[in-house]
Amino acid sequence: MNLTSVLLVIILITIAWSYYNLANKYNRSRVGYMLLGLGSYIVVVFLNALSYVFLEIISNNIGRSTHRLLSFLIGVLVVILIHFWLEKKWLKKVNVDANKAIDEIGKE
């Protein structure tokens, strides 16, 4: 097993773990959101690999190993952005529901 494979396994486990905990925190489908995180990472890396193969401008200026590392980093960045977006969206919904419940208690 080379360093790239170990790095990929660590990244995938970390993504799965963070999305699983996020879904568990907000009572969502744990496995579904874990697969969403893993799938979004794999899609971004795959699209980045396709851009390397089909766009000669990128492939002439960047070496294969540099592009592979860049692909890992872009994939992680996209997964982090999706994670924070989901958390912000769900937290906002929880806060709105809490305020609505407080208003209903005051009416009685």
E strands of the chain, at which residues? none
pLDDT tens digits along 10-54: 999 999 999 999 999 988 999 999 999 999 999 999 988 888 777
Residue with tokens 């492939």: 59
**pTM: predicted TM-score of the whole model, two decimal places:** 0.78
Give pLDDT tens digits for 41-97: 999 999 888 887 777 665 667 777 777 888 888 999 999 999 999 999 988 877 666
Nearest to 89 by CA among 23, 14, 10, 9: 23
Please give the Cα distance from 70 to 52 (Å, whole number).
11
